[in-house]
């Protein structure tokens, strides 16, 4: 099969030296790419900036902003059987990027932000009919929020994790998730290494491909 994966954070620049981003390490997305490659699939990994070693044997595309990630996804998703969106894409970006470094002068600074492109949410409208998998990093109402995301974005599966819990999620080598499927089924997966979890998730995704 052909798999497309996104991983890591995006960075939305404020000026030449500053940006808006988040705590995503990219470890889960990279583990998924490696697991899919080990399972014999053809893998394209589109990654925001991370410090994780680039997986071997995959087609790797490095991007920085949400806009560039969308462009890379649109150029790569045609013909794929399963698309897994594990990247933590910034929801907002500055409406104006300063050409020079913003100097510390006033006592306060107001930033005006605009929405970034909804990459996952645009896939069905663009005609993608493969298995569509999203991730939801939540701090409350885990299953409720994941179910809403699944319905809104037309996914077959949302992989939800509670990032408020210590020892799982951002920056961690371990994770524990709840799988929320189209059709109403839910499945909890206990805490395990992201490598082990990735292998299980790739197996689940293989079964989603029709």
29-75 per-position pLDDT tens digit: 999 999 999 999 999 999 999 999 999 999 999 999 999 999 999 99
CA distance 161 to 123: 22
How do residues 160-189 score in pLDDT, each as one tens digit? 999 988 888 788 999 999 999 999 999 999
DSSP 89-104: --SEEESS--SSPPPS
Tell whether the model's pLDDT for residue 105 goes beyond 90: no
Q: Is 22 a catalytic residue?
A: yes
Residue 186 region, left (φ>0) first, then alpha (ψ -120 to 50), else beta? Answer: beta
State residue 21's pLDDT score: 96
State residue 166's pLDDT score: 85
**What is the pTM for the complete model shown?**
0.95
**Which residues, other chains included, contact 203 with Cβ-Cβ below 8 Å and sequence gap of 6+?**
39
Q: Which residue has the tokens 């490696």?
A: 34
Q: What are the tokens at 61? A: 């595309």
**Domain ranges in the chain?**
2-97+110-208
Tell whether the model's pLDDT for residue 106 goes beyond 90: no
Exactly one of 22, 145, 161, 175 is catalytic; name it: 22
CATH level 3 topology of 2-97+110-208? Rossmann fold (3.40.50)
Is residue 22 very low, low, confident or very high in pLDDT (cuts 50, 70, 90)?
very high
- SS3 for 11? coil
Q: What are the tokens at 134? A: 């999203």
State residue 57's pLDDT score: 97
Beta bridge partners of 162: 138
């Amino acid at each position: 099969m052909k798999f497309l994966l996104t991983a890591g954070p995006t960075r939305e620049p404020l000026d030449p030296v500053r940006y808006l981003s988040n705590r995503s390490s990219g470890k889960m997305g990279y583990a998924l790419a490696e697991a899919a490659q080990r399972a014999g699939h053809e893998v394209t990994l589109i990654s925001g900036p991370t410090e994780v070693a680039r997986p071997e044997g995959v087609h790797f595309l490095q991007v920085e902003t949400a806009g560039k990630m969308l462009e890379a996804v649109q150029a790569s998703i045609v013909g794929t059987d399963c698309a897994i969106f594990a990247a933590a894409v910034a929801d907002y970006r500055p409406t104006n990027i300063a050409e020079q470094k913003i100097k510390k002068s006033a006592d306060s600074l107001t930033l005006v932000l605009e929405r970034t492109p909804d990459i996952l949410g645009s896939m069905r409208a663009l005609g993608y009919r493969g298995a569509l998998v999203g991730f939801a990093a939540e701090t409350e109402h885990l299953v409720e929020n994941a179910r809403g995301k699944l319905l809104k974005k037309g996914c077959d599966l949302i992989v939800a994790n509670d990032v408020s819990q210590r020892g799982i999620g951002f920056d961690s080598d371990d994770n524990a998730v709840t799988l929320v499927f189209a059709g109403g089924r839910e499945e909890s997966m206990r805490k395990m290494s992201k490598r082990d979890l990735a292998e299980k998730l790739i197996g689940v995704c293989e079964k989603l491909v029709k």
